[in-house]
């Protein structure tokens, strides 16, 4: 339930400042949205939620999930500083590919699910990366996102 709708700036310069701030704080905003923060609560959350949940934004996240699987299959690192937990990703390959396919569909997807999948694919603290959270979290995160997507589809 929406508690209150945050104010969105009317002036062009103020909107540009909010857009810049949302871009600079995207990881923090993504974490807040993945945790269930109300996307209508503040202007920067609105902008980030809009970007993440747009079809092009969702397709970027789907591509990042697919690239993660390809890198795991080829036993390659994302960068010299960011290595993938290959076995964990390959164990969840089918689930991650299904989630990526769902993100590419035109039907709406919960902002929390999209933000969670963005975190999973892009954040070094994600369980798919060496040094990230507990590797068992990949299966749990994928299962929660999958069930939320199915629940959303049933409501349509």
Q: Dmax of the chain from CA atoms?
A: 50
- Phi/psi for 72 (5° steps) reads -65, -40
pLDDT at res. 1? 45
Question: Which is it for the CA torsion 140, 2, 149, 85, positive or negative?
Answer: negative
Helix (H) / strand (E) containing 28: helix 26-34
Angle at Cα 127 formed by Cα 91 and Cα 47, nearest 5°? Answer: 115
pLDDT in tens, 113-148: 999 999 999 988 999 999 999 999 899 999 999 999
pLDDT at res. 14? 64
Report CA-CA distances (Å) from 97 to 33, 58, 88, 113. 22, 13, 14, 15
pLDDT in tens, 71-90: 999 999 888 889 999 999 99
Return left, alpha or beta for 130; rule: phi > 0 is left, psi -120 to 50 is alpha, else beta: beta
Half-sphere exposure for 130 (CA within 13 Å, toward CB): 14
- Phi/psi for 124 (5° steps) reads -60, -20
């Amino acid at each position: 339930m929406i508690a209150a709708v945050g104010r969105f700036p009317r002036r062009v310069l103020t909107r540009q400042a909010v857009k810049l701030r949302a871009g600079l704080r995207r990881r923090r905003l993504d974490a807040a949205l993945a945790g269930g923060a109300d996307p209508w609560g503040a202007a920067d959350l609105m902008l980030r939620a809009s970007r993440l949940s747009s079809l092009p934004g969702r397709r970027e996240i789907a591509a990042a999930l697919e690239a993660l699987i390809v890198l795991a299959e080829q036993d390659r690192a994302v960068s010299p500083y960011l290595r993938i937990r290959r076995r964990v990703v390959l164990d969840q390959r089918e689930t991650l590919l299904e989630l990526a396919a769902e993100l590419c569909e035109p039907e709406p997807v919960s902002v929390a699910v999209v933000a969670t999948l963005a975190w999973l694919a892009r954040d070094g603290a994600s369980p798919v990366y060496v040094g990230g959270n507990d590797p068992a979290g990949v299966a749990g995160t994928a299962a929660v996102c999958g069930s939320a997507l199915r629940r959303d589809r049933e409501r349509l």
